[in-house]
Amino acid sequence: MKTWALILVVLILEACGTKSELSIEGASIELCACFNSQTTGTIDDRLSPCLQQIVNNKNDEWQSSGIINQDTIKYKLSMFTLHIMIDMTRTCENYFAAVNELYDKGYPTDTTELNKKVIKELSTRIETEVSMDSVKSLLHKKVYRLIQAKEFDMALQSIDSIKSLDDTDYDANLASAYIFNQKGLHDKAVIEITRAIELSGNENLKLYAEIAKKKKLISKN
């Protein structure tokens, strides 16, 4: 799931646009309309040409207001684009459908006998391993395989084992959140994601929380 978060990184672009005063909500509406007009390619492919002018304009706006420190501008741009993505998750149906599909494919399904065999082998190695770090690494591999095999309850048990070894391992929280989302327990997913944000300091993970909230809303309809 870590690589999925990289979708946000490509949205922080160098700027040279025209002066504009644009709110997050206004940018979200504009970007949604542009995204809907792009019908092929990955989410990044569809977003990048739409977002570039918005980010360019916002960057120029900040520079015109006297903000010239590039680190400050880069941070403000990252937060601006993040909150656009969050708003689009709430309000832009086609964007949510695309990003939700990408999230759900974070663990490709694998119910083969080969995968089950690998899970058993990992279990054996975990029982005999003495290094705590090695045990945790093996548990993560087992969790990944169990989620692929749709053995969610067993995966949660292994995640509990990871947390007992290291309660700051936020990847365990993200794995739990994924499982809870697949099981329809979206409130629990949000709790796990919130904890992952607290542990990692990665505010981009707020997008995952918004996906879980939207999943819950849709499930009620």
Residues 209 and 136 grouped into a single domain: yes
Give the pLDDT score at 11: 46
Domain range for 211 is: 113-220
Mapping DSSP to helix (H, G, I), strand (E, B) and coil, where does residue 92 land? coil
Q: Domain end: 104, 127, 160, which one?
A: 104
Instruction: Please tell me the total count of domains within the chain.
Output: 2
- As to burial, measured by CB atoms within 10 angstroms (0-12 exposed, 13-18 middle, 19+ buried), residue 209 is buried
| The model's pTM | 0.86
Residue with tokens 């979708």: 7
Judged by average pLDDT, the poorest of 68-72, 101-105, 141-145 is 68-72
Q: What is the pLDDT of residues 6-33, one digit of tens each?
A: 454 444 433 333 344 679 999 999 999 9
The confidence score (pLDDT) of residue 1 equals: 58
The pLDDT, as a whole number, for residue 6 is 42
The mean of the pLDDT values for the chain is 89
Q: How many whole angstroms separate alpha carbon 160 and alpha carbon 149?
A: 18
Same domain, 183 and 117: yes
Q: Are residues 143 and 88 in the same domain?
A: no
Are both 69 and 31 inside the same structural domain?
Answer: yes
Which residue is it, tokens 């329809």?
A: 184
pLDDT at residue 75, rounded to an integer: 86
Q: Which residue among 79, 104, 129 closes a domain?
A: 104
d(C-alpha 163, C-alpha 196), whole Å: 12
* Same-domain check for residues 117 and 100: no
CB 84 within 8 A of CB 31: yes
Higher pLDDT, 96 or 78: 96
Q: To which H or E segment does residue 213 belong?
A: helix 206-220
The Cα 46–Cα 28 span in angstroms is 14
Sign of the torsion formed by the C-alpha atoms of 54, 57, 59 and 65: negative
* 83 and 118 inside one domain: no
Structural tokens at position 167: 């309660």
- For 205-216, what is the mean pLDDT? 97
122-175 residue pLDDT tens:
999 999 999 999 999 999 999 999 999 999 999 999 999 999 999 999 999 999
> Residue 95: what pLDDT?
95
Examine the domain organization and report whether 89 and 117 are in the same domain: no
Q: In this structure, are 131 and 36 located in the same domain?
A: no
Which residues touch 123 (CB under 8 Å, ≥6 apart)? 142
> 165 with 82, same domain?
no
